[in-house]
Structure 1
């Protein structure tokens, strides 16, 4: 799928961003990649993603701080993007309790700068990352896009909900076609070391105990990275029309439509790694939610696709990558 004009990908040294940028470049698109390479987790992993996933397609990843409006303005003025895929964000639920200002700067100030630049330079479509966290402790499952999302249980979730409201207002006021994607627990090769599947795997391979919260009864909708990328690429060229008198704004869940109990996830990980887990049971943490479970009907109807990679298959691919990564980096 080749698109006319440059595609700007923010957070392109991040997990999802690097895969999206690589996929778009593979299909002959001009991709402009930016990231701030912050140290929320090791920047070594971010630089290696750029080397392994972007550089082979001739993409370099420019260091840029989105919370600095002057830098954003200069970027848009130079690139004039036809499409913007905004994946840069401060991630992590628990870290938002310890370091709230990082979320305000990245997720609110940074996003408002992107919206202002889009208002001025008018790309054909802005796609931005939201999160399943916006559903809070919703007990109605699976989660549908029209469910109530105004009781966030973490600041991270509050910033993601704010992004949806901010984008809607720009769509309404300025006719900016914008789509928010609520990602559900994304995993796979080159993933984030702070995520459970990654940190559990590392601890299990070293024979260390893993922390299991709420008796392992929490449920998560694990979504494989390739499915996330496919969803983003399909939505990219299909913005909402503003012709109906409504704002050209949409929200879609992108999840695997499977709520997997953490204990079952651990047993799958045990079979994939060939290692028995030692579990350290702990109480539920502040900011955590009992379950995430995506209804993907709306995405399926809009672009003819919804994620479906089985957890066992996705974790097996992650394991193959992880063993190579560990051998290379002696972790």
Structure 2
């Protein structure tokens, strides 16, 4: 699969455009001169001010149209497709979070299942050149073989969130097969960076530090068998998506799934040390988190580790941001954005 540059004559419909990945992708496309239609329901799963701050940056672009709405509203989605005729759709709207899916399952079915079904139906009745949608590394469940490969068995999700993402892949495959919709699923591996999601561990650790609270680490205090995470910097993720957008799938293989990760897992404790150093540098004084160790939470997995060979072969994707660089960018942004002292 060759990699071409983006076609700026196309209209891109991005769901979840006030979200972390949706914002950065919209910004990148707009900077290139593309027309972007964005939708987001701005739910209060985390601080809405951050979502509005992201949107504010997008509104300065002439070719950006924002619609506040929910992808679970089928009539609205169909009318958006009819009015704007998107060539390419990137579905990033989803209820995120593994642990929250245990507390509040209803919203996952509404957004991740019904919402995605509505997008597929809209693509069926208003044919598009390419549908890219967010899956997740959580589909691998508690698989022991690492690195995770796209051909691995993924029939044992350990959270409802993971089950909805696996369902998305099956739904996309079926629609792709029946209605010839070129579709690509992306299994994201722990995406982080400035303006990221406050429910993610690195952001929560930083919030707790400035609130004078200890951070909770769910690894039983077992340093020998620490949790491993494949942390992927936001710019690398956007680069990978952009390459895929410039490489429509071949008609004979209308549905594909790719891992998009760092292929270089870090121990959670190492990640925390690097975050402490990054905050120390951003503040100009030594930062040490107060730590409390607790058992692993239901739905959590001990390791996420992506094989990215398939995506590299397809579009030459190779992440290039080190964890030190990435966390420094986050720390510098956090200190400035929140006026942290």
Q: TM-score with structure 1 length normalisation? A: 0.96
Tell me how far 1:324 sits from its aligned partner: 1.2
Residue 309 of structure 1 is aligned with which of 313, 318, 321?
321
1:55 aligns with 2:65: no
1:106-133 Cα distance to aligned partner (Å, 9 max, x none): 0000000000000011110000000000
Q: Post-superposition, which runs of at least 4 consecutive aligned residues in structure 1 deviate over 4 A?
A: none
What corresponds to 1:262 in structure 2?
268
Distance 2:130 2:319 in 1: 22
1:276 aligns with 2:288: yes
Residue 303 of structure 2 is aligned with which of 272, 291, 296?
291
1:220 aligns with 2:229: yes
Count residues in correspondence: 325
1:190 aligns with 2:202: no
**Structure 2, unaligned runs of 5 or more:** 1-5, 281-286
Tell me how far 1:221 sits from its aligned partner: 0.4
Distance 1:270 1:69 in 2: 45
**Structure 1, unaligned runs of 5 or more:** none
CA RMSD of aligned residues (A): 1.2
Distance 1:150 1:36 in 2: 30
Tell me how far 1:306 sits from its aligned partner: 1.9
Tell me how far 1:240 sits from its aligned partner: 2.3
What corresponds to 1:326 in structure 2?
338
Residue 252 of structure 1 is aligned with which of 236, 247, 258?
258
Tell me how far 1:65 sits from its aligned partner: 1.1
Tell me how far 1:60 sits from its aligned partner: 4.2
Tell me how far 1:296 sits from its aligned partner: 0.4
Higher relative contact order (CA 8 A, sep 6+): 2
1:120-168 Cα distance to aligned partner (Å, 9 max, x none): 1111000000000000001111110001111000000000000000000
1:1-331 to 2 correspondences below 5 Å: 1-52=6-57, 54-58=58-62, 59-214=64-219, 215=221, 217-243=226-252, 247-274=253-280, 275-327=287-339
Q: TM-score with structure 2 length normalisation? A: 0.93
Structure 1, 192-201 or 300-309: larger mean CA deviation? 300-309
Asked if 2 retains the 8 angstrom alpha-carbon contact of 1:93 and 1:155, the reply is yes
